[in-house]
Amino acid sequence: MRILISGGTGMIGRPLVTRLQESGHQLWILTRKIGARHNLKNIQMVHWDGSRLGEWSEYVNQVDAIINLAGENIGAKRWSDKRKKQIIESRVNAGEILTEAIKQARKRPRVFVQASAIGFYGVNRHENLTEASASGDDFLADICIKWEESSNGLESLGIRRVVIRTGVVLSKNEGALNRMLIPFKLFVGGPIGGGRQMISWIHPFDEIAAIQYMLENDELAGVFNLTAPEPISNADLGRYLARITHRPYWLPVPAFALRILLGEMCTLVLDGQNVTSLRLVDAGFQFKYGKIEDALKNLLA
């Protein structure tokens, strides 16, 4: 399969590109920084700015699939009004311009994979959330709603569109898990806030495998939650981290301190979601790391 990927140099994009390449697919990556070192071998980088048509659009005519993972890192900086605008526009602009390029293409791809996140459902909802659950009304939900809408209409062109609502990806070297480990390394690990907030997580291996599974399965379309079958509370996750890292678990991090430190962005750690991957499991996907203890042992070994 010939595949064009935006966001192919990010935390999910890099290992996804490697796996797809090893599986025999031919890939092109849309990137703003052609000269940057991305540690991706034998992959052609194609320049784009993520918001306008250009020479890159010609590649749309040549591919069987497009995977759109583009978007500013939501947890990289404090959420000022300017930063919020960047987070939303980086996602919406990429989806809209890819959609426009497809509409104008002489030959269109068969499948389009659209990134999103479980933030779609809003936070602090205590019920089990499935793909059929309604959207939330906070900033995270607003991001995801607009993100998904950016590629609306592709189905009417006969293109199979898959929307992946990703949970908390437990990457060892970057992202949420890396930050969670810091207090444990300093021997001051403990629950964050009340510790009762649910974390709907996924191991990077399963995230990448699930994307490939949906990409290659012509019968799958629509929205899929990419989360492990069993969400876990922040407190229980902390206890597992303490056990596996052989560190104490004793010092709670008060919610007010995080609100002062992070501002509105504190919702990423203080608020929870209980999301299930019902459609993915029903579609026949099998998780390699469906248990949190197995996932952490693999990541932290």
Q: Where are the domains of the chain?
A: 2-169+202-227
Both structure tokens of 161: 């569109």
Using alpha carbons, list the distances in angstroms from residue 24 to 17, 63, 259. 11, 14, 47
Using alpha carbons, list the distances in angstroms from residue 59 to 66, 221, 263. 10, 23, 41
Specify burial of residue 31 (Cβ count, 10 A radius: 0-12, 13-18, 19+). Answer: buried
% of the chain with per-residue pLDDT over 70: 98
Q: Apex CA 143: angle with CA 91 and CA 217, to 5°?
A: 65
Single out the residue of 42, 43, 48, 72 nearest to residue 60, CA to CA: 48
The class (CATH top level) of 2-169+202-227 is: alpha beta
Using alpha carbons, list the distances in angstroms from residue 122 to 81, 105, 143, 178, 223. 19, 36, 10, 24, 16
Average pLDDT of every residue of the chain: 94
Stretch among 75-89, 128-142, 256-270, 274-288 having the lowest mean pLDDT: 256-270
The average pLDDT across 152-175 equals 94
pLDDT in the model for residue 74: 93
Q: Which helix (H) or strand (E) holds 4?
A: strand 2-6
Q: Give the global pTM.
A: 0.95
Tell me how far apart the alpha carbons of residues 2 and 166 are, in angstroms, rounded to a whole number: 24
Both structure tokens of 130: 């499935």
Segment 12-33, tens digit of pLDDT:
999 999 999 999 999 999 999 8
pLDDT in the model for residue 39: 67
